[in-house]
Amino acid sequence: MLRFLVRRLSLMMITVFVITMVSFFIIILPPGDFVDRIVLEANQYGEVFEEHEIADLRRMYGLDQSALEQYLIWMGNILFRGDFGYSFGWDVPVSELISQRLGLTTTLSVVTLMFIWVVAIPIGIYSAVRKYSLGDYAATFVGFVGLAVPNFLLALVLLYISFRYFGQSVGGLFSPEYINAPWSFDKFLDLLSHLWIPTIVLGTAGTAEVIRKIRANLLDELHRPYMLTARAKGLTELNLVIKYPVRHSLNPFVSDLNDLFVKIISGETIVAVVLGLQTTGPLLLQALKEEDLYLASSLIMFLSFLAVLGTLFSDLCLMLLDPRIRRQAREGEMM
């Protein structure tokens, strides 16, 4: 197990390094930079920069060096000093700017994933065991609706419902009095009271997809020969379904956990813009539009780290669920 973890963590670090390097150069690739954007905006207001002033600005932001030198300096500061650089547009340290947003993004993604599990797994099991029943048809219909309705439209509908019937403030994850307040138990409860809208919006499509997968996998398992043997041993129908086919049908779902987690993170940008959420999605979008190099690169690095961390979590869950994979991991350590 230890060798497996070390091997996977090493692979994770290499993956994140490659992603950061590729994304850094892709961000630099388009013509122009942040200084050109400043000069263009100044020209629109009738201000003119001299050549030496433009050169001074590029030197101040470190944009006078080659792309490779900029990347090596940025990565060296991260590795040896824990410094992710300064945001050009916000003029504050990148770590200070993204710390709370990254925490909110992670919290929202994990809560959405738990919502999908809690809702989709029981419904998927029921739909398979009660195939072609009224409940099965209802779950299938709701699943198709969940896949078809755009997230931003569902977000607007839930915003109206929360404001009209529950009196909640429209948009954001906090009430106005808690936005700039320090963290406390009351602020945490206020966060939970606002978290249900983005959780439902982000989790609807994923819930519908997981219901269909679990139903299809479980239907396949219910017709396996071992089910006849288990029934012959006198197991009750509930114990029979839970002990064997459900456990086996969850394997593909667990292996796809990382894909689901990545879809939640990548899909929260539009939802965050509609709901006014202070998460990483809108900030990354703004950083890319403004060519804020170090802010955009740092956000991509952290989000890619969350993605590969999700892969590790998915593999560990699969090892706990399936003894065959645990045996393969032990055999790999003995080689």
Residue type, 212: R
pLDDT over 60 (residue 334): no
Task: Output the pLDDT for position 239.
Answer: 72
Task: Output the pLDDT for position 331.
Answer: 61
pLDDT over 90 (residue 268): no
Confidence of residue 21 (pLDDT cuts 50, 70, 90): very high
pLDDT over 70 (residue 177): yes
Structure-token match 């940008």, residue found: 269
| HEC-encoded secondary structure of the chain | CHHHHHHHHHHHHHHHHHHHHHHHHHHHCCCCCHHHHHHHHHHHCCCCCCHHHHHHHHHHHCCCCCHHHHHHHHHHHHHHHCCCCECCCCCCEHHHHHHHHHHHHHHHHHHHHHHHHHHHHHHHHHHHHCCCCHHHHHHHHHHHHHHHCCHHHHHHHHHHHHHHHCCCCCCCCCCHHHCCCCCCHHHHHHHHHHHHHHHHHHHHHHHHHHHHHHHHHHHHHHCCHHHHHHHHCCCCHHHHHHHHHHHHHHHHHHHCHHHHHHHHHHHHHHHHHHHCCCCHHHHHHHHHHCCCHHHHHHHHHHHHHHHHHHHHHHHHHHHHHCHHHHHHHHHHHHC
Model pLDDT for residues 269-288, shown as the tens digit of each residue: 888 888 888 889 999 999 99
pLDDT over 80 (residue 93): yes
Domain ranges of the chain: 100-292+309-325
- Please tell me which residue, 1 or 284, carries the higher pLDDT value: 284
Task: Output the pLDDT for position 178.
Answer: 78
Q: Which positions ≥6 away from 235 have C-beta within 8 Å?
A: 243
pLDDT over 80 (residue 247): no
Confidence of residue 330 (pLDDT cuts 50, 70, 90): low
- Please tell me which residue, 98 or 316, carries the higher pLDDT value: 98
Both structure tokens of 286: 């703004």
CATH number of 100-292+309-325: 1.10.3720.10
Question: What is the average pLDDT across 84-90?
Answer: 89
322 to 250, 251, 254, 326, 329: CA distances (angstroms): 10, 7, 10, 7, 11
Task: Output the pLDDT for position 45.
Answer: 81
Highest average pLDDT, of 27-31, 164-168, 293-297, 307-311, comes from 293-297
Task: Output the pLDDT for position 253.
Answer: 76
Main-chain phi, psi angles of 93, to 5 degrees? -60, 140
Lowest model confidence (mean pLDDT) among 11-20, 99-108, 242-251, 255-264: 242-251
Mean pLDDT of the chain: 84
254 to 206, 248, 251, 259: CA distances (angstroms): 13, 10, 5, 10
